[in-house]
Amino acid sequence: MENFIKYITRNYEIIIKELLNHLSIIGIALPFAVIIGVSVGIIIAGKPKISKIIIYISGMFMTIPSPALFGIMIILLAPFNAGLGKPPAVIALIIYSLLPMIRNTVNAVNSLDHNIIEAAEGMGMKNYQILIKIRIPLALPLIMSGIRSSVVMGVGVATIGYYIAAGGLGYFIFAGLSRSRFEMILTGVILTAALGIFLNYFILKLEDIITPKGLKISGE
């Protein structure tokens, strides 16, 4: 315990740096994941067969173990001089985020009641108005929960960034493991766990804020 306190007081600069590194990997990947995931989701929604196939394929990506995906990224990106550092980590994260993003978008779009859309059309709304005023607000909460899954997963996945020189909180855990430095490991454990819990909670609150009031009144 003493070691631990000593360690964090001496290394708070590194801690902050790696925390920011960690967040930036997630932060850079996120917009790409959202754009790709949501557009794919919107395109394939309403086509049950294609949706099923695409969701299955993105599910297959999820079964690739994270260190392997990072490794594959290094090799694939090496010809572009981007083999190490953040780019492979970011791309790997985007790939992992596809499943939750696509699945939730498809669900969000499909769960829209046709009657509502018809009613909107009947009221003389144009297509883009329906998209902005009806579809997006109603779909947003589900898409947001897809974002939450991606981000929370990203906190864990990004730790592997340590192995490919992308930095991040993985440093404390993996370097700590290989050097048997308990205080480092503990730092890593606490930071990653706290970050996951915090981000989950934070986005949950966001979801709550953006959910139209009428949708919150559930059965109970």
Interaction of residue 156 with another protein, rule CB under 8 A: yes
The residue (of 125 and 190) whose beta carbon lies closer to another protein is 190
Interaction of residue 200 with another protein, rule CB under 8 A: yes
Q: Give the binding-site size for another protein (rule: CB under 8 A).
A: 39
Residues 6+ apart with CB under 8 A from 175: 162, 181, 184
The residue (of 24 and 196) whose beta carbon lies closer to another protein is 196
Angle between the N-to-C axes of helices 136-157 and 12-44, in degrees from 0 to 180, rounded to the nearest 10: 140
Interaction of residue 132 with another protein, rule CB under 8 A: no
Residue whose tokens read 């020189």: 165
Interaction of residue 170 with another protein, rule CB under 8 A: yes
Query: For residues 194 and 157, what is the distance between their CA atoms, to the nearest angstrom?
Result: 15
Stretch of 9-17, 35-43, 116-124, 149-157 lying at the interface with another protein (CB under 8 A): 149-157
Interaction of residue 152 with another protein, rule CB under 8 A: yes
> What is the DSSP code (8-state) at residue 45?
T
Structure tokens at 137: 């607000």
Interaction of residue 165 with another protein, rule CB under 8 A: no
Please report, as residue ranges, which positions from 30 to 69 form the binding site for another protein (by CB under 8 A). Answer: 60, 62-69
CA 18 to chain centre: 18
Query: For residues 58 and 54, what is the distance between their CA atoms, to the nearest angstrom?
Result: 6
Question: Nearest approach, Cβ of 26 to another protein (angstroms)?
Answer: 12
Is residue 141 within 8 Å of 155, Cβ to Cβ? no
Question: Nearest approach, Cβ of 209 to another protein (angstroms)?
Answer: 19
Interaction of residue 173 with another protein, rule CB under 8 A: yes
Query: For residues 48 and 191, what is the distance between their CA atoms, to the nearest angstrom?
Result: 41
Pick from 87, 146, 168, 176 the residue near another protein by CB under 8 A: 176
Interaction of residue 197 with another protein, rule CB under 8 A: yes
Residue 64, Cβ density class (10 Å: 0-12 exposed, 13-18 middle, ≥19 buried): middle
The residue (of 66 and 105) whose beta carbon lies closer to another protein is 66
Is residue 172 within 8 Å of 185, Cβ to Cβ? yes
In the chain, count H helices and then E strands.
12, 0
Q: Which residues bind another protein (CB under 8 A)?
A: 60, 62-72, 74-75, 152, 155-157, 159-160, 163-164, 170, 173-174, 176-177, 182, 185-186, 188-189, 192-193, 196-197, 199-201
